Homo-oligomer: A and B are copies of this chain.
Amino acid sequence: MWLQRDVELRPRPRGFHLVTGEVLEAVPELRALRVGIVHVFVRHTSASLTLNENASPDVRRDFETWFTHAVPDGWGDFSHTLEGPDDMPAHVKASLLGPSVSFPVIDGRPALGTWQGIYLCEHRDHGGARSLVVTAWGEEA
């Protein structure tokens, strides 16, 4: 059994955003999977996906602080600067975090840990809407 949906995420400000609900609501049929995998993929090179703490907004703010410290806007050693001071750092951050997350399905439910939520990591100042592809596959109950 295969499920696949495009999910368009509305434009969000630069930073880290919880999108667990939007992703899982796109594939309600995964309730039918006894065992399987969900794969979430972002079709961009300046935004990324990760799993992390789903409770405290502080954690998401601290992510933005640390990543922007590690890969500073307008860093002097970058040569790809035509698209703005936030562009090349966005590419680096996107690869540090990665374009996909995947997690198991057990008895019709995503087997995320209690504190794990899906983050959209928006690395541009004005990234616009972001396209995801959510794919799930497995064995029906």
On A, residues with C-beta under 8 Å from B are 2, 4, 35-37, 39, 41-45, 50-53, 56, 58-59, 61-63, 65-66, 69-71, 75, 77-80, 88, 91-92, 94-104, 106, 111-116, 119, 131, 133, 135, 137-139
- State the number of copies, please: 3
- B4 & A106 in contact (Cβ 8 Å cutoff): yes
Which residues of B are found within 8 Å of A69, using beta-carbon distances?
77
A59 to B94, CA, bound (A): 12
Which residues of B are found within 8 Å of A56, using beta-carbon distances?
80
Given contacts A63-B92, A78-B62, contact A4 B52 (CB under 8 A): no
- B62 & A113 in contact (Cβ 8 Å cutoff): no
